[in-house]
Amino acid sequence: MAQLIRSGFSGRVTKSGVLGAARSMSTAWWSHVEPAAKDPILGVTEAFLADPSPNKVNVGVGAYRDDNGKPVVLGCVREAERRIAGNLNMEYLPMGGSVKMVEETLKLAYGENSDLIKDKRIAAVQALSGTGACRLFADFQKRFSPDSQIYIPVPTWSNHHNIWRDANVPQRTFHYYHPESKGLDFASLMDDVKNAPNGSFFLLHACAHNPTGVDPTEEQWKEISYQFKVKGHYALFDMAYQGFASGDPERDAKSIRIFLEDGHLIGCAQSYAKNMGLYGQRVGCLSMVCEDEKQAVAVKSQLQQIARPMYSNPPIHGALVVSIILTDPDLKKLWLKEVKGMADRIIGMRTALRENLEKLGSPLSWEHITKQIGMFCYSGMTPEQVDRLTNEFHIYLTRNGRISMAGVTTGNVGYLANAIHEVTKTA
């Protein structure tokens, strides 16, 4: 009514007319909203599920499968669930999450006898898996270093770009993958580290780089750490695959330990999606090494303040599962055995895929399949070749050629190799 009066309307205003105008306005509220683009990874599964072919193969999504292509619930997780069922707890966790889960998670990343843990120099909170940990850090970066930017490797997990974009942190990139060698472009990486402004933020994959499966060697990590020290750069490690890469959590944390030995104040995003199979529980941790205990208390309090309007406090169930497994010596021993079993199966499938391709007489080198590590193989196939795999052979993967080795089994590796050979033999 007020709008009609202000606009100079002098006629008779009826109740039905006002209601009609209101309805018209309300129906226009969201008319400008367009459908979002499909997620490049999750869209693969949608297409796979819609395909009626009995020969279809999904090597797109990063979730572990056994040699029958079935999801796996680890034995240690089943036992933890049994114990939880006998002592149900539905109460809120603190904003920072489960203290016990965080304590045990820090030991995995920083070492069982870490002085940083003993000296209480690490600010850490439970997070919504690795994605949530990265997002908490991105918002913290924006709030307390508002003029900074983040250097992200090319390529990287696609969601990294979304996370820092939505936190309004400007992004830059640095060289990482070398397409010709299908390995690490170490020289260009080091040049980018040297040429970045002093005190820049860098996102690093601690192990099993996603999507390439290409990791620096121990000596290369030492050189990277040294150059970070010279330039005063800050490293946030995204460690989504600890234990899942090599089968040894200590070995997979080597990059972080090298930086710690050199005195860096690092950040670390951890997740239990892959290494415990807790995909749907969304349990992880963000930790930040500080100069002293006082600073750690302040940083943790600010991380909790960022989390409060996002989700208030994290979910309890996954945290209980992790806590039970990591604090029980027998269950932890079983977990270490089971995570090594998952890693070993994937390593075995890498060998089988390479051998099958070589037996087919492929003119290409497939050495990179076994040199890369972790869940993914960056095959080197072009988007057009991937399209042929999908259209002609009903094999589903992302168009950048990333193969989830967790989807490869003894039952489909021959079919997969033959299809890859067919679409690449004239390359």
Of 176, 290, 179, 171, the residue nearest 224 (C-alpha): 176
Q: Cα separation of 254 and 266, whole Å? A: 14
Q: Supply the Cα-derived Rg of the chain in whole angstroms.
A: 25
Maximum CA extent, the chain: 87
Q: Cα separation of 421 and 356, whole Å? A: 9
Catalytic-residue membership of 157? yes
Which of 139, 185, 215, 238 is an active site residue? 238
Q: Which helix (H) or strand (E) holds 293?
A: helix 293-311
Q: Cα separation of 416 and 377, whole Å? A: 13
Beta bridge partners of 150: 171, 201
Catalytic-residue membership of 274? yes
Q: Which helix (H) or strand (E) holds 194?
A: helix 186-195
CB distance 74 to 338 below 8 Å: yes
Instruction: List helix spans (H) across 55-113.
Output: 75-85, 99-110
Any idea of the CA torsion for 353, 358, 359, 360, to the nearest 10 degrees? 90
Burial of 161 (0-12, 13-18, 19+ CB in 10 A): middle
Q: Cα separation of 427 and 365, whole Å? A: 12
Task: Report residue 382 CA to chain centroid gap.
Answer: 23
Angle at 130 between CA 196 and CA 191, to 5 degrees: 15
Which of 139, 157, 185, 366 is an active site residue? 157
Distances (CA, A) of 32 to 29, 35, 39, 162: 8, 10, 21, 22
Q: How many secondary structure helices (H) and strands (E) does the chain include?
A: 18, 13
Q: Which residue has the tokens 């898996």?
A: 129
Q: Cα separation of 284 and 118, whole Å? A: 21
Sequence-distant (≥ 6) Cβ neighbours of residue 419 within 8 angstroms: 389, 392, 393, 395
Which of 274, 300, 335, 366 is an active site residue? 274
List active site positions: 157, 238, 274
